Amino acid sequence: MAQFNWRMPRWFHQMGSPKWFYNFGGLLQPWFTLAAFLLLTCGMVWGLAFAPADYQQGNSFRIMYVHVPAAILSQSVFLSMAIAGAIGLIWKMKIAFMVARSCIAIGATFTLIALVTGAIWGKPTWGAYWVWDARLTSTLVLLFLYAGVMALNQAISERQIAGKATAILAIVGTINIPIIKYSVEWWNTLHQSSSFSLTDKPTMPSEMYLPLLLTVLGSYFLFGLVVLTRTRAQILQTQNGASWLMQHKDISGAK
Amino acid sequence: MYFESVDALWHMAGHGPYVWSCYGLFIVLLAANVWHARSERKQALKQAQAFIRRNSNYQANTYVDAP
Amino acid sequence: MGFMLAIIRRDLLLVARQPAEMINPLVFFVLVVALFPLGVSPEASLLSQTAAGVIWVAAMLATLLSLELLFKLDHDDGSLEQLLLAPYPSWCLVLAKVFVHWLVSGLPLILISPLIAMMLFLPSDAVPTLMLSLLLGTPTLSLLGAIGAALVTGVRGGGMLLTLLILPLYVPVIIFGASSVAAAALGMPVDGYMALLGAMFVFALMITPWAAGAALKL
């Protein structure tokens, strides 16, 4: 019987090297900054001033261009955090725990933005800031999940153990997210017969759709930028005294 | 532009406060995150430089003190 | 299996020596439920409408209250470390401890729930559903809680943290548990709810011993 040899590609293991990650991240960082800035600026200006108003919701529809990226990212970031955590647990990669740790604050921020903009959008649409809408409710639960991850990560002072504990919680949370989502949706249909969802549009013309694409992409780049910056900062903190770092131009040739 | 004037863009037929506050929140919170990440990096760089300074002093001292 | 039985026997013996551990969650449960009519209104029609949710939320809080000590006492006196060194997988330990926890905190809640239901004017037709939903739901609560309890073992001030970690995970259980009782009160079929609660229990049984075991070994 032929033996199956489970091997990850070379770049995967390179990613686990602090030096390689630090340098490669440094190469990517300016491009991520540029992409995030350009995409978000263009998308937001387009969405604010140039996209046509919705025939039903009028101009409040423009909130979509910030609400939807935040809502998408809030879930993507949690998933990324869990994947990074799983990589850290399986391949014992310290960098992966640092990446997961870098995800927490930005993910919670996106969730908060999604929640607050959703509530503000609700005022002109439903006539109230808060209704127990399925999406808003599950976003609220997601914010609680982030709060738990954040609290756990800060409660344990030993970085390595905190990383592992956070990874386990993030994985369990990620498994739970779809269950929570569907149960909340089901609960919502049980209790509220008439409320139309904010963003369910069967057809959207492209001039309405394209700005959204830009802000979503821009948000992804911004997320990448923040994770790179914070992970590299953590590498600096933990690799104190490593010779590659001490001779690095970022430190020796710094202003 | 979709609106006729800057004033119309600001008011958005009554929806202005809602739309602008959402965009403002989005920009402010995300900028705060980027700024925080950057300050974290700056601090870490400073620490690493301080480490080098301490370390080189220590080496120099031992070198001088050695017989 | 012998290992698990030994743990179960030991933990039950420990509980028997300190029965307060078993009674406190129960008193807490009754107390929380009794506060609702005082805070809201003693009107029968209003109470019977909210009874399902109130009982489920109180059961959840009572479970959480007792979860903090699930691994903490063993951790503090050092026996947890020894148990983890034993040549058995850590999920055996978790399963045995969770079983005892449910026996001590979940089962009494189920047994006392008809009394509570009566106090809140829940229609008597819904009482069997209430008990069955608690029977299927409380083990899930104990299992999910074990992950949190394992994660906060050895962390100072773990009780509050545990609540923060675990409550969001309880959302599906409470939705289906309370809905099943509400449906039964209206005379609607409840098989679907029971199937979902059962599915969640089986799913939790598959995942949580692994996760809690991994968390204990940190």
Q: What is the pLDDT of residue A199?
A: 55
pLDDT in tens, C139-152: 999 999 999 999 99
Whether the pLDDT of residue A83 is over 90: the answer is yes
Residue A90 lies in a domain: yes
User: CA-to-CA distance for A207 and C91, rounded, in angstroms?
Assistant: 55
Mapped onto helix, strand or coil, the DSSP state of residue C217 is coil
Residue A253 lies in a domain: no
CA-based nearest distance C16→chain A, Å: 33
The alpha-helical segments, DSSP class H, found in chain C are 2-17, 20-39, 44-67, 69-76, 79-85, 90-101, 107-119, 127-152, 158-166, 171-185, 191-216
B13: left (phi over 0), alpha (psi -120 to 50) or beta: left
- Confidence band, pLDDT 50/70/90 cuts, at residue A198: low
> Which of A62, A81, A77 has its CA nearest to residue A121?
A62
- Chain B partners within 8 Å of A255 (Cβ): none
Residue of chain C nearest A187, judged by CA positions: C175
Residue A26 lies in a domain: no
- Total residue count of chain B as it appears in this document: 67
CB contact under 8 A, A53 and B19: no
Residue of A86 and C159 predicted with greater confidence: A86
Q: What is the pLDDT of residue C95?
A: 92
Residue A114 lies in a domain: yes
Residues of the domain holding A164: 65-237
Q: Give the CA-trace dihedral at A165, A166, A172, A176, to 10 degrees.
A: 150
Q: What is the pLDDT of residue A6?
A: 66
Sequence-ordered strand ranges (E) for A56-207: none
CA-based nearest distance A219→chain C, Å: 26
The residue-averaged pLDDT of A81-94 equals: 92
CB contact under 8 A, B19 and A60: yes
User: CA-to-CA distance for A17 and C142, rounded, in angstroms?
Assistant: 40
Please say whether the beta carbons of A186 and A11 come within 8 A. no
Q: What is the pLDDT of residue C80?
A: 86
The residue-averaged pLDDT of B32-42 equals: 95
pLDDT in tens, C84-119: 888 888 888 999 999 999 999 899 999 999 999 999
Whether the pLDDT of residue B61 is over 60: the answer is no
User: CA-to-CA distance for A218 and A37, rounded, in angstroms?
Assistant: 7
> Which of A161, A217, A181 has its CA nearest to residue A75?
A181
The residue-averaged pLDDT of C80-86 equals: 86
CB contact under 8 A, A236 and B9: no
Residue A47 lies in a domain: no
Residue A31 lies in a domain: no
CB contact under 8 A, A113 and B1: no
Residue A89 lies in a domain: yes
Q: What is the pLDDT of residue A4?
A: 53
User: CA-to-CA distance for A211 and A52, rounded, in angstroms?
Assistant: 11
Label each residue of C101-139 as H, E or C: HHHHHHHHHHHHHHHHHHHCCCCHHHHHHHHHHHHHHHH
- Total residue count of chain C as it appears in this document: 218
Residue of chain A nearest B55, judged by CA positions: A241
Residue A102 lies in a domain: yes
Q: Is the dihedral of CA C205, C207, C208, C213 positive or negative?
A: positive
User: CA-to-CA distance for C66 and A81, rounded, in angstroms?
Assistant: 30
> Which of C124, C159, C150 has its CA nearest to residue C213?
C150
Q: Which residues of C touch A (CB under 8 A)?
A: 147, 151-152, 155-158, 161, 164-169, 171-172, 175-176, 179, 200, 207-208, 211, 214-215, 218
Q: Domains in chain A: how many in total?
A: 1
The residue-averaged pLDDT of B7-14 equals: 80
Residue of chain B nearest A70, judged by CA positions: B26
CA-based nearest distance A86→chain C, Å: 12
User: CA-to-CA distance for C169 and C136, rounded, in angstroms?
Assistant: 16
List the chains bordering chain B where 3 or more Cβ pairs fall under 8 Å: A
CB contact under 8 A, B55 and A241: yes
Please give the structure tokens belonging to residue B23.
Answer: 């965009």
